Structure 1
Amino acid sequence: MTISADTADAGYDPAFLGPEVPLPVPADGRGIRELRYPRFTVVLDPVRRLAVTTAVNIDGSALRDVPRTGDWRLDERIPASEQAGPEIYARNDLDRGHLVRRRDPGWGEPVTARVATEATFRYPNAAPQVNVFNQSKDLWLGLEDHVLAYAEATDARVSVFTAPVLDADDPRYRGLQVPRRFYKIAAWADDGVGTLQLRSAGFVLDQSDVLRLEAEALAVPPLAAFRTFQAPVADIAALAGVDLGPLASADVLATTTARGGGDWRPLRAAEDISLG
């Protein structure tokens, strides 16, 4: 089911980079809600009540420093029972983790940029993240900026796909299975031999070591760590159960096995990222 409020909510544009990059969808054909917002789309799993993927177009040459406005609210186009709403985040150490970052769709004309950034404050675009994880993730947030800077030598356009990995054995809290891992894939195009060549880079962030959910109670271990990896896009597709189309074959991470997978590279700083 594709849901768009009006013509302004055109959603993610598959042709934004030049080479076509279709909106990722679950590989198992499960029922979804495709929610379109200005310049981004959330593909929601209404059973898990969380996104199975999100996709946003970013024009780095036209980004604006838009003041932070907007409040978290449910998306009125779908039932509240299909969304992980405010009750998940009340009186605990869970943050509403933006999937599409607030500033990502904030480009172009000032009014359009402001409307687009405010649209990111919808619960389908959030996932629960332990606060020490969410507030300490400078590297995770900086991945898109790093790729955008790399792409700026060409057309400064990037499309980014972010979501939790919805594992069947994720721990349950207040009736919601809380994801332990998240993935992010950045895609851009650079000049090949007479044509634009699609490139991609994939990342996985793991909050398993800081997530303690027992008997509907949440506990955050002190000084706990989370882990960030650059991972083969093909591995991410298998891990998340999402059809990533041409993104796997466009991966800049050198592969090391016959099946097309490769080493997972632990990241401690932006300098550890490989962009080809």
Structure 2
Amino acid sequence: MANATPTGYDDDFLGIPLPLPRPVGDTAVRALTYPRFTVLLAPQRRLAAVTGVNIDGATLRDVARTGEWHLDARVPAAEQAGPSVYADNDLDRGHLVRRRDPGWGTAAEARAATEATFVYTNAAPQAGAFNQSKELWLGLEDHVLAYADTADHRVSVFTAPVLAPEDPEYRGVQIPRRFFKVAAWAASGDADPRLLRLEAAGFVLDQSDLIDTSQGALAVSRLGGFRTFQVPIADIEALTDVDFGPLVDADVLQPVAVRGESAWRPLRTADDVVLG
């Protein structure tokens, strides 16, 4: 297998400084770097609190799907939600950083970077039922890339489960009911096109209706559905206790007079997304 230097998420990738969001307070995380992406692993939950990836849409490659799921040897196995969580049930190992997102540059670099995404620190349990809402969720980065036509289609994306204390437990792991995604890009300034400004959009995927552990075992409903919303980044910040820094003010939904779930924008197709 070709190797790529695991330099991790690049704060300066967009041409505007954008630090990786981090949990607030004294929440312990392990910072793990991979080719073009970083995972902040929350050991007590055995899942990522934040992931950040840089995507260069101008040099993305359509490489064959290769790679096998594996534990990260740098982290104790007990701190990772490994293969036993996904065995003999209807849970998928959901990529947080998508397989294709870091797959850009040379063919060797792209192949090594996509293979690096098959690590359990970059996975989270998702209901296996595949429907239009999940397809929409998986395609949000592509939609943002198509919109962000400045800075050579460069986008930075932050994704993770919402690690809520009330998430139901299954096989020693609390199964997240929600996931967040925040995409950021550089846009040309109105007064001077040479000056860039940061723009961003936030999203939440809700699988609460699909996951049931009330009887002591996992039940995944095949009749329910994923719900996808565009959400103020300030709401995601409050929901996750993650500091998103300048992304809150860069939100394309700003200004938002009303916040909270009642004001979240439900998405049925990519055409429902507000990007500018």
Task: Say whether the fold is shared (TM-score over 0.5).
Answer: yes
Match of 1:226 in 2: 226
Deviation at 1:31, TM superposition (A): 1.0
CA distance in 1, matches of 2:126, 2:56: 27
Summarize the alignment of residues 174-193 of structure 1 with structure 2, pairs less than 5 Å apart.
174-192=171-189, 193=191
Task: Provide closer, same or farther for how the CA distance between residues 81 and 273 of structure 1 changes in structure 2, counting only shifts above 3 A.
Answer: same
CA distance in 2, matches of 1:39, 1:146: 20
The answer to whether the aligner puts 1:129 opposite 2:155 as a matched pair is no
Deviation at 1:180, TM superposition (A): 0.1
Amino acid at match of 1:198: L
Q: 1:215-240 CA deviation, whole Å, 9 max, x = no partner?
A: 43111223211210000001101101
CA distance in 2, matches of 1:87, 1:163: 20
CA distance in 1, matches of 2:264, 2:159: 18
In structure 2, list runs of 5 or more residues that go unmatched.
none
The share of aligned pairs that are identical, in percent, is 64
CA distance in 2, matches of 1:176, 1:196: 42
Please give the secondary structure, in 1, of the residue aligned with 2:213. strand
CA distance in 2, matches of 1:267, 1:61: 27
Amino acid at match of 1:58: I
Amino acid at match of 2:47: L
The answer to whether the aligner puts 1:141 opposite 2:138 as a matched pair is yes
Residue 133 of structure 2 contacts residue 268 of structure 2 at CA under 8 Å; is this kept in 1?
Answer: no
Amino acid at match of 2:153: A
CA distance in 2, matches of 1:268, 1:260: 19
Match of 1:110 in 2: 107
Match of 1:210 in 2: 210
CA distance in 2, matches of 1:131, 1:29: 34
Residue 63 of structure 1 contacts residue 107 of structure 1 at CA under 8 Å; is this kept in 2?
Answer: yes
Match of 1:3 in 2: none
Deviation at 1:96, TM superposition (A): 0.1
Match of 1:168 in 2: 165
Amino acid at match of 1:125: N
Q: 2:9 aligns with which of 12, 27, 45?
A: 12
Residue 182 of structure 2 contacts residue 233 of structure 2 at CA under 8 Å; is this kept in 1?
Answer: yes
Q: 1:108-153 CA deviation, whole Å, 9 max, x = no partner?
A: 0110110000000000000000101589611001111000000125
Amino acid at match of 2:271: E
CA distance in 2, matches of 1:214, 1:27: 31
Please give the secondary structure, in 2, of the residue aligned with 1:197. strand
CA distance in 2, matches of 1:181, 1:37: 24
Deviation at 1:57, TM superposition (A): 0.1
Match of 1:264 in 2: 264
The answer to whether the aligner puts 1:199 opposite 2:199 as a matched pair is yes
Residue 53 of structure 2 contacts residue 101 of structure 2 at CA under 8 Å; is this kept in 1?
Answer: yes
CA distance in 2, matches of 1:151, 1:91: 41
Residue 133 of structure 2 contacts residue 228 of structure 2 at CA under 8 Å; is this kept in 1?
Answer: no
Tell me the TM-score normalized by structure 1: 0.94
Amino acid at match of 1:208: S
Task: Provide closer, same or farther for how the CA distance between residues 61 and 178 of structure 1 changes in structure 2, counting only shifts above 3 A.
Answer: same
Match of 1:240 in 2: 240
Tell me the TM-score normalized by structure 2: 0.94
**Size of the alignment, in residue pairs?**
271
Q: 1:195-225 CA deviation, whole Å, 9 max, x = no partner?
A: 1000000000000001111343111223211
Match of 1:64 in 2: 61
CA distance in 1, matches of 2:10, 2:261: 28
Deviation at 1:7, TM superposition (A): 8.3
CA distance in 2, matches of 1:59, 1:214: 43
Please give the secondary structure, in 1, of the residue aligned with 2:118. coil
RMSD over aligned Cα atoms: 1.9
